[in-house]
Amino acid sequence: MKENNSKKDTEAKDKLISVKPKLKIKGFNKENIGIIALTKEDLQIRQRITRLLSTPFYNDLSENHKILVSKITNGYQNTLEGKELEEDQYILSEHELVEFENIHDWEVFRYLVYRYKYNMYPKLKIVDEYPPCVQIEPVSMCNFKCVFCYQSDKSFSNKSSGHMGYMELDLFKKVVDELEGNVESITLASRGEPTLHKQLGEMLDYMRGKFLAVKINSNASLLTDKLIHTILSSDIQTMAFSIDAADKELYEKLRVNGKFERTLRNVERFNEIREKEYPNSRLTTRISGVKVNEDQDVQKMVDLWAPYADIIAFTNYTPWESSYENPINDVSIPCTELWRRLFVWWDGKVNPCDYDYKSLLSKWSASKTPISEIWNSDYYKMLRTKHLNDERKELEPCKKCMSA
Ligand code: SF4
């Protein structure tokens, strides 16, 4: 009987998760993104950058950062002349243009440098003193158990697993103190739902003015007016709501424990308060889902969620919910996470990614070792070298992961 039930569960899950790419490329596929906010054309972007080149915002940059800015301005030049981008050139992608619209002139070069590092360092395999982005996990618990998420793995999400907990404020402050001035992008989220942390407001207060691009990922289920004000009065750049469907049935099948009407009401309320009480907020709001099923349609998402978001997009699925049971695959491309992001979890454990949600790859604690030392450690170098030499099959769980 038990066997029959588990067979049925597997069949139901396979039906629900029917879109299974063999490779997970970071970012959004063009067909899976709906931009709501109006954005400018390449020429206008180039004009804005050119206008600011004669200001102190540019003059005060380091020589190295001026070179990175030139890779972008030359990229725009080539694009406007109808030429291909050179290998080390970059221009902003669609969803970045929305953020670019929202930033102040004095932040433009910081933004360009950060986006260049975030996108191009993994491609060019450049390792700086610090990663382009750090994800700090306030809490590893989540009130949802989404079908495609490691929270549905009970050996991880059970209270007794040893993986569950809340970050202490002192540890959070220690990490922030080190990253201030060295990293522009901080995401407050990883394996858990950040709004479960009672001190989220204090964390946001402590980060104020220290980073260019703070992002929160949330399932929106626990938003209250008080929390919405806390978030909107902070200086975060992006609020990403994790929502994957435009109808109740599919949403609640995917986001287990989620209630569609409640999520909709909370996102509506967030937008209402933002428009009425924070009209000058530079916040970009994103509805971000995981593409797992053919019935998820960007246009349907836009039709429903457009009034409340600047960007609507689906990311590619990878089977996070079974990271350690997935078959060994033949992906041979290096994983870009090793050059892009680093994760600090609630207990200080530092890990290269959240696919490895039980930290098999982790050797470090942020409470003992500085992030820059970890990022440039021999062990991290070994991981990168293995990936570059097509030896990711020697690493658990990289050999079962599709991230490239
Ligand atoms: S498990 Fe390995 S390949 Fe997968 S995301 Fe993490 S570091 Fe990259």
How does pLDDT run across 240-282, given as a tens digit for each residue? 999 999 999 999 999 999 999 999 999 999 999 999 999 999 8
What residues of the chain score a pLDDT lower than 70? 1-5, 35-39
pTM of the model: 0.94
Would you state the structure tokens that stand for residue 49, as one six-digit string? 């950058």
97 Cβ inside 6 Å of ligand 1: no
∠ CA 114-116-122, nearest 5°, is: 105
CA of 294 to the centre of ligand 1 (A): 26
Q: How far apart are CA 93 and CA 85, in angstroms?
A: 13
> Which pLDDT belongs to residue 2?
57
Q: Which of 125, 335, 399 to mutate to test the pocket of ligand 1 (most atoms within 8 A of CB)?
A: 335
> Which pLDDT belongs to residue 13?
82
Q: Which of 22, 150, 337 to mutate to test the pocket of ligand 1 (most atoms within 8 A of CB)?
A: 337
Please state, in angstroms and as integers, the Cα–Cα distance from residue 227 to each residue in 144, 192, 283, 309, following that order.
Answer: 19, 17, 15, 18
Q: Whose CA is nearest to atom 2 of ligand 1?
A: 398
> Which pLDDT belongs to residue 36?
65
Closest CA to 333 of 394, 386, 395, 396: 386
CA of 334 to the centre of ligand 1 (A): 9
397 Cβ inside 6 Å of ligand 1: yes
335 Cβ inside 6 Å of ligand 1: yes
What residues have CB less than 8 Å from 315, skipping those under 6 apart? Answer: 27, 28, 32, 288, 289, 290, 291
> Which pLDDT belongs to residue 38?
63
What single string gives the DSSP state of each residue in 223-283? Answer: --HHHHHHHHTS--SEEEEE---SSHHHHHHHSTT--HHHHHHHHHHHHHHHHHH-TT---
Q: Whose CA is nearest to atom 6 of ligand 1?
A: 353
> Which pLDDT belongs to residue 1?
58
Q: Is the dihedral of CA 96, 97, 103, 107 positive or negative?
A: positive
Tens-place pLDDT, residues 315-350: 889 999 999 999 999 999 999 999 999 999 999 999
398 Cβ inside 6 Å of ligand 1: yes
